[in-house]
Structure 1
Amino acid sequence: MKDQKGNLVFYKSVLIGGFAGASGAYIASPFYLIKTHLQSQASKEIAFGHQYHYKGTWSGLWGIFRDQGLKGLFRGSFSAVPRAFVGSTSQLTSFAYCKEFMRKYGILTNSPLLMTFTASMVGGVAISFMMTPFDLVSTRLYNQGVDKAGQGLLYKGYTDCVLKIWKTEGFLGFYKGLGPSYFRLGPHTVLCLVFWDEFKELYQRFK
């Protein structure tokens, strides 16, 4: 978001980017839940942690709804909100400010595509570093087993999960999987933002 002089307004950029990501994550939470369960599902010989046994996406969603109701489909959804808020705002804000910095100091101004690519790479690093701890907590809450009342067997809630990770695994425990996270989020960020920026420029040119 920019002011009347064309300068980025930091708090507006953070709030709008974060709200967009958080609302999308909450709405799509049932699919993230079933994705997490299916990815952790393994054969008996190599299985670890709590195991769910679904035949597929729709049978898994129906099974959760049948046993736990609508509330069960949104189990862990509140852990997805801070994850998506931090992820979206760190990605988009760092991208926008990096581009503004390069324009201000005349860096890559003769190559708009390379400028966008560079800024999106910065966005990929930012989202990976900022979101990984929230991603870790969210994954553990989504994937834990539940009792008949739908309550988690390992963690009582978000704060309990954070405290238990801190006590047993320390600060670095929150950054498990940082490398794979970057190799997933980095290319995703670059492709999304480069295409978005190019289409935006194309629209401005022909409108």
Structure 2
Amino acid sequence: MDITDFIIGGTASLGATYFTNPLEVIKTRIQLQGELSASGTYVKPYKGVINAFIVVGRNEGISGLQKGLVPALYFQFILNSFRLGFYTTAMQKKWMHKKNGDVSFPLGLFWGALGGCVGTYFSSPFFMIKTQLQSQAAKAIAVGYQHKHTGTFQALRQIYAERGITGLWRGSMATVPRAALGSGAQIATFGKTKSMLRDNGWVTQPTLNSFCAGSIAGTIMSLAITPPDVLTTRLYNQGVDASGKGIYYNGWLDCIVKVVRTEGLLGLYKGFWPNYLRIAPHSTLVLLFYDELMSIRDKYYS
């Protein structure tokens, strides 16, 4: 297991995050508006993706669209270090292959899910801070619980001082289904699609092959990840009472029940379009950057 595979995996995600973080901000705001309220009973400051960009830019300036960027970079680096590191190791050691040498989709799903779960768990504090900073908004367009953080490390210090390590990892187990579904679907689709496009002679140029496979993988990932992503956003952003318990939800199961009961099944798909518009290009760029960095590494060591 080569440590450089993990470092390259984390590095590949950083460039993509700069481009896609504004969509993450919009997605978070849309997922939080109308929290635990029936459709049509609340004011919607964000009436779609384009409108949300205009509203945030008008009320908070361009910098408002990059809220939570610092913890997002830490989160993505840790997550993708494990996720893509596991993927490369499994591919190189033929753990993702059938006896006939073909890439196995179920095995790809397993290794992608495992890497995603491990990476997401260890990066959980940064995911929580990212969500809470992205939800902070001007009073006129505020949605969800409003935390009073002034920055990433101030938030980490404050939470640790008040709640200890358990406070930093609050809600971390809720990210496991999100990571398993999203990462598993992405990694399995990416590996299988790359092989299919190459073996059938449809797309053989390495960079274009990675780009096409990454685009398809990102689309599949966005369909799988939106419901657990809504739950994760709600659980991470909720405030806590004096004993450290969430003021809205007791856990992911309680969150599902309350969201469906008050907002309907469509409540689990709030923010789907900004999520799709973020994940598809983000996935494409991360996997493309990763393959390019791995090629550079292999040329350097060859």
- So what's the TM-score if we normalise by structure 2? 0.64
* 5+ long unaligned stretches in structure 1: none
Q: 1:62 aligns with which of 154, 157, 167?
A: 157
Q: 1:73 aligns with which of 168, 191, 207?
A: 168
Give the Cα–Cα distance (whole angstroms) in 2 for the partners of residues 59 and 13 of structure 1: 39
Q: 2:249 aligns with which of 155, 160, 171?
A: 155
* 5+ long unaligned stretches in structure 2: 1-95
- So what's the TM-score if we normalise by structure 1? 0.91
Give the Cα–Cα distance (whole angstroms) in 2 for the partners of residues 46 and 174 of structure 1: 21
Q: Residues 102-141 of structure 1 correspond to what in structure 2 (within 5 A)?
A: 102-109=197-204, 111-141=205-235
Give the Cα–Cα distance (whole angstroms) in 2 for the partners of residues 69 and 49 of structure 1: 24
Give the Cα–Cα distance (whole angstroms) in 1 for the partners of residues 123 and 198 of structure 2: 36
Higher deviation after alignment, 86-95 or 169-178: 169-178
CA gap of 1:166–1:204, structure 2 versus 1, over 3 A, is same
Deviation at 1:64, TM superposition (A): 1.0
Counterpart position of 2:191: 96
Task: Give me the CA root mean square deviation.
Answer: 1.8
Give the Cα–Cα distance (whole angstroms) in 2 for the partners of residues 156 and 169 of structure 1: 18
AA paired with 2:281?
P
Deviation at 1:142, TM superposition (A): 0.4
Contact 2:219–2:276, Cα closer than 8 Å, also in 1 = yes
Give the Cα–Cα distance (whole angstroms) in 1 for the partners of residues 150 and 207 of structure 2: 44
Deviation at 1:108, TM superposition (A): 2.1
Deviation at 1:72, TM superposition (A): 0.8
Q: Please give the per-residue CA displacement for 1:49-108, whole angstroms capped at 9, x wherever unaligned.
A: 211101211111111111111111111111111111211111111112222222343312
AA paired with 1:135?
D
Counterpart position of 2:125: 30
AA paired with 2:117?
A
SS at match of 2:197: helix
CA gap of 1:3–1:62, structure 2 versus 1, over 3 A, is same
Deviation at 1:41, TM superposition (A): 1.5
Give the Cα–Cα distance (whole angstroms) in 1 for the partners of residues 267 and 139 of structure 2: 27
AA paired with 2:103?
L
Q: 1:178 aligns with which of 272, 279, 282?
A: 272
Give the Cα–Cα distance (whole angstroms) in 1 for the partners of residues 271 and 231 of structure 2: 12
1:47 and 2:136 correspond: no
Contact 2:124–2:172, Cα closer than 8 Å, also in 1 = yes
AA paired with 2:245?
Q
SS at match of 1:53: coil
Q: State the 4+ residue runs in structure 1 displaced beyond 6 angstroms.
A: none
Higher relative contact order (CA 8 A, sep 6+): 2
SS at match of 1:13: helix
Give the Cα–Cα distance (whole angstroms) in 2 for the partners of residues 162 and 190 of structure 1: 30
Deviation at 1:40, TM superposition (A): 1.1
1:168 and 2:262 correspond: yes
CA gap of 1:156–1:196, structure 2 versus 1, over 3 A, is same
Deviation at 1:184, TM superposition (A): 1.5
Counterpart position of 2:37: none
Deviation at 1:203, TM superposition (A): 5.2
Deviation at 1:202, TM superposition (A): 5.2
